[in-house]
């Protein structure tokens, strides 16, 4: 079964600091990887996704993530965070089983950005 680990439960940064949120997955086959963001009181929104090709993926709002297959990792980065990035971030994976649609989520990382 596939699983996703997000190492940081809560990250606190000052505005303009750089961000890197860790995500590791456990799955033996080909995977599709996603980062979703959940702003306070809101639903999940897709930040970015990786299916194939360039392992450095750019998403919305200045976020990017790098897929490192050898490390089973898909870390999320942003060079300079803003107060409006305060939210919870979820890494998710879909495995390559036939007819597989199931997103498996990590437990999430809460980001607090201090003005």
Partner 1 sequence: DARVTQTPRHKVTEMGQEVTMRCQPILGHNTVFWYRQTMMQGLELLAYFRNRAPLDDSGMPKDRFSAEMPDATLATLKIQPSEPRDSAVYFCASGPGTGRQETQYFGPGTRLLVL
Report the residue from 36, 63, 67, 89 that binds partner 1 according to the rule CB under 8 A.
36
Sign of the four-CA dihedral 23, 95, 28, 26: positive
User: Can residue 39 be called a binding residue for partner 1 (CB under 8 A)?
Assistant: no
- Quick one: 17 or 88, whose CB is closer to partner 1? 88
SS3 content of the chain, % helix, strand, coil (to 5): 10, 50, 40
Q: How far is CA 53 from the centre of its chain?
A: 18
User: Applying CB under 8 A, does 51 fall inside the site for partner 1?
Assistant: yes
59 interacts with partner 1 by CB under 8 A: no
Who contacts 70 (Cβ-Cβ below 8 Å, separation ≥6)? none
* DSSP 8-state assignment for residue 14: E
| Segment near partner 1 (CB under 8 A); pick from 19-27, 31-39, 62-70, 78-86 | 31-39
Instruction: Candidates 21, 87, 94, 111: give the one binding partner 1 (CB under 8 A).
Output: 94
In the complex with partner 1, the residue whose CB is nearer, 36 or 67, is 36
Of 10-18, 40-48, 56-64, 69-77, which segment contacts partner 1 by CB under 8 A? 40-48
| Maximum distance among all Cα pairs of the chain, rounded to whole angstroms | 47
């Amino acid at each position: 079964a596939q699983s996703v680990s997000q190492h940081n439960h809560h990250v606190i940064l000052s505005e303009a600091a750089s961000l890197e949120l860790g995500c590791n997955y456990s799955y033996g086959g080909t995977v599709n990887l996603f980062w979703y963001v959940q702003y306070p009181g809101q639903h999940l929104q897709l930040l970015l996704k990786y299916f194939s090709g360039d392992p450095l993926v750019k998403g919305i709002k200045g976020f990017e993530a790098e897929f490192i297959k050898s490390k089973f990792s898909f870390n999320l980065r942003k060079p300079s965070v803003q107060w409006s990035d305060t939210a919870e971030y979820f890494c998710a994976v879909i495995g390559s089983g036939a007819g597989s649609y199931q997103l498996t989520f990590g437990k999430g990382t809460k980001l607090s950005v201090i003005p």
